[in-house]
Structure 1
Amino acid sequence: MPLPRITHILLLLAGTGLAGCGEPGPPPSAGAAVTAQVNNLAPLLSPQGGRIADALLEVSTLDGQVVLAGRGWDAAGEPLDIDVAGGLPEGRLCRLRASGGELLPAGGEGAALPNDTAPENLVPCTSLQRAAREPGVSRGSGIALNALSSTLLDMLRQRQPLAAYGDRLEVLLDTVAEALAPPQARDFDGDGTISQQEFSQQSPAVYGALSLPRVIERANQVLDSQLASLPAAGKRPNIVLIVADDVGYGDVGAYAGDRGDIATPGIDRIASQGARLTSFHVQPVCAATRAALLSGRYQHDFSLRGAGGPARAGIPRELTLLPEMLQRRGYATGAFGKWHLSDREGFTPPDRGFHEWLGFTGGALPYTAQLRERYAARFPLYRNGELLDGAGGHATDLFADAAIDFMGRHRQQPFFLYLAFNAAHTPLWSEARPRFSAREDWLRRVQDQGISGPRQQDYAALVQHMDARIGDLLDRLDALGIADDTLLFFLSDNGADVSVHESAERPVGSNGSLRGGKGSVYEGGLRVPMVARWPGHIPPGLVVDAFTSAVDLWPSVRDAVGIDPHYTGSELPLAGHSLLPLMGGVASGTPPAREDWFVFPVSGLAVVHPPWKLVLDSQGQRSLYNLQQDPQEQVDRAAEQPQLMETLGRRIDAYLDRELE
């Protein structure tokens, strides 16, 4: 079967070689006409009226006009911004090079290029919907959807009639266009500009990416991958991510069993209808976990540690967050509840991919309307970036109601719902603050269950009511008829606080038999309940014992919605792995190979290379545990494993040295 011909793609032009657009091999007269018109534009390329010595340009024909845009350098090496439209007829030769300060048609001597970038193999182009981006930068966001649409449609027609793809067609086209973007010319010296020398060094790789055989091969590979990974029904799943605050491993019935005091039938329902992950790990404090969930990377990868780092500074804009990835693919996106990833301009939910937002930016929020009104200046509540005054109701109900309403309004399109409860974070009843955050009727229920102690009752009542609202959300999915089309996750952001407060004889929350709690590098601070449901894709009642982590959510969602599995949204590699293979029926027996996993809390440091975990505590002591054999971390195996201690210890030392630089 002959390969279809690419007809639309981006072009880069540089003085070190050739790059082309237009039909290959136009007659010399056409080339001469183009040369004349381009040379007539040359004085405009420099504000001083000079000629460019080298250039990195986009060249495209749009509405009968040839458009050149990008960055050039004059003979002295000074950068020139270029944005010029000239009257060149569509489809004519625009394969150009820069030589001796003038733009010339292709030909003559040039830099050595890879074998398959001979002129006849350079990618032709006849139209391009230009997208806004920085001059000289060409990445996935720089290729508009229709830039490759006609060729990709031809490719898809060879597989099956277009009507058979349904609403998968948009994501297929978008994903392949993104995957075929040429490499970005990088600013190696970090001075904020791409110099003539920097681009000249990189141009062969750029041209290699533009060669026609490579583009066609890559397009077919991506299409094959996407068609294999998209849901058979052709519908992109809704994504629901529910995050609890400070709820421990032993506070959910599906994990605690008969040993637990708190009833969680809603969360248990997700586990019974889907998967229960028994070794799912997060960071030991709030904001660090949320950064990992939404970015797919550990917070130390972008210099944010602990609770305060991401909460103050936010996640760097160059990282594509989960809502941004989905919003760009036609998803309705809504965030309700706790953000805790900066209140700085440019870093709040509306700035980071959410169409709708009702919530707060800090670490805690008073639960009752009366207290929220009293302390509004300290604990502001927002709706879509604007201060919200007079919002009634308990915070748990406020966020749950908004989330359920969001699902109903967007049931006809794919949506991403991020419901981040503040339950069961403080404020809780204390001797210094003898006021309950839970309502009286909720408290009576936990008292009837035999739970004693006012602070413990307050915590348990908040957890149980949150669970009841999760049950309401599940019921609403059923009523809307979209439960089978929804991939849903529930997890806690860290372990429960197991410190003993004031005169209490026992802690409030429970991490079961695990050692430590919130803020700790031991498993009680890191290992949390995590359940997932996707009917028809995740077998009901599945138990996954493999080591998994918060950074795995980003690639899992990417794969579930049918985005190219090579897509990372940034030059910074993803830290996680997709959970879908583990949750598709292959559980603990075949976990993916993992890189070492680091934790940077307020009280120590740990590195995990499953099943081994090396802990550096706040006193500088190092200990080694086998999490598979000893999840309670009771037996230090350091003396038995000197080589492993040295290997993992070097990883910790490298991090500490980097911090001291």
Structure 2
Amino acid sequence: MPVVLFLNFPTLAQSTSTSKPNIIVFLVDDMGWQDTSVPFWTKSTDFNRRYHTPNMERLAREGIKFTNAYAMPVCTPTRVSLITGVNAAHTRVTHWTSPDQNKNTDYADATLNSVDWNINGFSPIAGVQHTFHATALPEVLRQNGYYTVHSGKAHFGSAGTPGSDPLNAGFEVNIAGSSIGHPASYSGRANYDSPVNGKPNRNAVPGLEAYHGTDTFLSDAITTEALKAIDKPVAEKKPFFLYLAHYAVHIPLTADPRFLNKYLQSGLDSTEAKYAALIEGMDKSLGDVLKYLDDKKIADNTVVLFMSDNGGLSTTPARGGKAWTHNLPLKAGKGSVYEGGIREPMLVRWPKVARAGAVADQYVIVEDFFPTILDIAGVKNAKTIQEVDGKSFLPVLKNPAFRDDQRGLVWHHPNRWIAAEGPNIHYATAFRQGDWKLVYDYRQAKLELYDLRNDIGETHDLAASNPAKVKALAALLTRQLKAWNAQWPTFKATGKPVPFPDEITL
């Protein structure tokens, strides 16, 4: 299969100007809303006090904290939406992609048939089976004078497809990125691998052979290599885009020995202590990035955007054992369209533009990163294959009090994530407008309504007492799903499609 990109916009001369800001996206995997010493609620909680993330605290002091930032319920949909600017309902990449090409990762369900989603993920090339074809963000930036570096987890597409290799998406450098969704190990001593029957694990992290047999933790290796890679554009005074996407804090819970003992001594059990150590190791990476910017004297001209790809993994029955992430007071966790599965820690530092120490309550969603980053880079009227759904949050960066209560956000997850049942972790779609949120559970043919301003934990379903609001939001959600031609499940018993939200009678 060819891996040559066919672009539909002109190649621009490479800029040597330092007026364009450098841009760093610092993406964490499976980090819950409470997994940090920075509170993203109206108050600090016991969970915030459990963790030690001083560099996130610094970023919050020096930038803007977003208290209503959202991703998708699972990883690949978030990552594809970030680099394409398109909502998961529109890309049809609604679930995580397997390293194996053409493999549907949905668990079988007794009630509903699996939908025809794009199981191979994103593709920069047209005509690849079961993929969403789009012009990727790094490609647009590269064509507009940016030096583009990927380091860490990619998970944009399945192995053997063009989207599995970040170099095909417009990155000039790819460090350790492939089709895998989590590492086999975080340990350099283990070569970031855990062999199966004497053979390398398919989730072994590629491209870090220089660190094999060393004590270098994976989070450090990808950070060190990323900073080495941007030495080149910094020396050439060329703007860079660094996408530093951590494998942390996804399983396996490999203990980071530098931080483990402090959490054991604090009274956490071994599982929770390993997780907390992974968190602090990730935060140490953030500190290394900020120090690099300071040392190179480029911090004032560099935008740092911090985000997680989905909610914390608060349910582990499929793997056995106890949960180690606690999203409370949010409901549920990874895999769910309830707040615990989609609400994320988000920070943005842009010196002289974003007011230090500010808090933004405006809700934003991951596809907004695409148009926002292009706005930051000064890229106007970029020609892309896809229609972009995201909305730039540049107005929020310039004015944290900015408010838009009319915009609607959509989370579409017509998939079964794990075998076990749980709090609406299968086959659900949600819609937010203002402080109101509608949740549609297909299997129960049930619409739920929540007032997030007064009930962030989604504990009080107001559907019965406010049918007018339910009807209005159901109409808006249905209209958007149909406009995007979102894939829609059918019942196994009858073969008929599940009713749309506006067809449900309270």
Please give the range of the TM-score, normalised by the shorter of the 2 chains.
Answer: 0.7 to 0.9
Partners of 1:521 and 1:601 within 8 A in 2: no
Match of 2:192 in 1: 372
1:641 aligns with 2:466: yes
1:580 aligns with 2:398: no
Structure 1 unaligned blocks of 5 or more: 1-131, 147-165, 169-233, 429-436
Structure 2 distance, partners of 1:311, 1:279, is 29
In the TM superposition, what is the alpha-carbon distance from 1:331 to its structure 2 partner? 1.0
Q: Which has the higher contact order (CA 8 A, sep 6+)?
A: 2
Match of 2:429 in 1: 605
- 1:601-653 CA-to-partner distances (Å, cap 9, x unmatched) read 63121122222211112533210112223221122121233233223324555
Structure 1 distance, partners of 2:11, 2:120, is 34
1:514 aligns with 2:330: yes
- 1:89-121 CA-to-partner distances (Å, cap 9, x unmatched) read xxxxxxxxxxxxxxxxxxxxxxxxxxxxxxxxx
In the TM superposition, what is the alpha-carbon distance from 1:371 to its structure 2 partner? 5.8
Structure 2 distance, partners of 1:299, 1:503, is 30
Tell me the SS of whatever aligns to 1:250. Answer: coil
Which one has a bigger Cα radius of gyration? 1
Q: TM-score, normalised by structure 2?
A: 0.78
Which of these residues, 438, 441, 451, is aligned with residue 626 of structure 1? 451
Match of 1:157 in 2: none
1:447 aligns with 2:260: no
Superposed, which structure 2 residues align to 1:108-187 within 5 Å? 141=9, 143=10, 145=12
- 1:338-362 CA-to-partner distances (Å, cap 9, x unmatched) read 1111133421101111111112321
1:356 aligns with 2:169: no
Match of 2:422 in 1: none
1:567 aligns with 2:382: yes
Partners of 1:597 and 1:609 within 8 A in 2: no
Give the AA of the match of 2:340: G
Match of 1:616 in 2: 440
Give the AA of the match of 2:294: D
Tell me the SS of whatever aligns to 1:255. Answer: coil
> What is the CA RMSD across the aligned residues, in angstroms?
2.8
Which 10-residue stretch deviates more, 317-326 or 290-299?
317-326
Match of 2:144 in 1: 329
Alignment CA distance shift 1:319-1:388 (3 Å)? farther
Which 10-residue stretch deviates more, 438-447 or 348-357?
438-447
- 1:125-158 CA-to-partner distances (Å, cap 9, x unmatched) read xxxxxxx999xxxx962x5658xxxxxxxxxxxx
- 1:427-479 CA-to-partner distances (Å, cap 9, x unmatched) read 12xxxxxxxx123332112223x141111011000101110121111011100
Match of 1:421 in 2: 246
Structure 1 distance, partners of 2:193, 2:227, is 24
Structure 1 distance, partners of 2:304, 2:192, is 30
Partners of 1:274 and 1:542 within 8 A in 2: yes
Structure 2 unaligned blocks of 5 or more: 98-116, 126-132, 416-425, 491-496, 498-506
More helix by share: 1
In the TM superposition, what is the alpha-carbon distance from 1:389 to its structure 2 partner? 9.4
Structure 1 distance, partners of 2:172, 2:474, is 44
Partners of 2:414 and 2:429 within 8 A in 1: yes
Match of 1:464 in 2: 280
Partners of 1:311 and 1:341 within 8 A in 2: no
Tell me the SS of whatever aligns to 2:65. Answer: strand
1:245 aligns with 2:29: yes
Superposed, which structure 2 residues align to 1:467-486 within 5 Å? 467-486=283-302
Match of 1:402 in 2: 225
In the TM superposition, what is the alpha-carbon distance from 1:373 to its structure 2 partner? 4.2
Which of these residues, 382, 404, 407, is aligned with residue 206 of structure 2? 382
Match of 2:122 in 1: 314
In the TM superposition, what is the alpha-carbon distance from 1:404 to its structure 2 partner? 1.7
Give the AA of the match of 2:145: G
Structure 2 distance, partners of 1:144, 1:652, is 38
Alignment CA distance shift 1:408-1:658 (3 Å)? closer
Structure 2 distance, partners of 1:266, 1:401, is 17
Which of these residues, 286, 306, 311, is aligned with residue 75 of structure 2? 286
Tell me the SS of whatever aligns to 2:313. Answer: coil
Give the AA of the match of 2:187: T
Give the AA of the match of 2:95: G
Structure 1 distance, partners of 2:223, 2:388, is 31
Partners of 1:311 and 1:362 within 8 A in 2: no
Q: How many residues align?
A: 426
Alignment CA distance shift 1:133-1:325 (3 Å)? closer
Structure 2 distance, partners of 1:328, 1:487, is 19
Partners of 1:489 and 1:532 within 8 A in 2: yes
Give the AA of the match of 2:256: R
Match of 2:104 in 1: none
Structure 2 distance, partners of 1:537, 1:519, is 35
1:525 aligns with 2:341: yes
Give the AA of the match of 1:440: P
Partners of 1:519 and 1:601 within 8 A in 2: no
Tell me the SS of whatever aligns to 2:34. Answer: helix
Partners of 1:627 and 1:633 within 8 A in 2: yes
In the TM superposition, what is the alpha-carbon distance from 1:496 to its structure 2 partner? 0.6
Tell me the SS of whatever aligns to 1:335. Answer: strand
Tell me the SS of whatever aligns to 2:241. Answer: strand
Give the AA of the match of 2:144: R
Structure 2 distance, partners of 1:377, 1:387, is 15
Q: Structure 1 vs Structure 2: percent identity of aligned residues? A: 28
Superposed, which structure 2 residues align to 1:94-105 within 5 Å? none
Structure 2 distance, partners of 1:652, 1:492, is 25
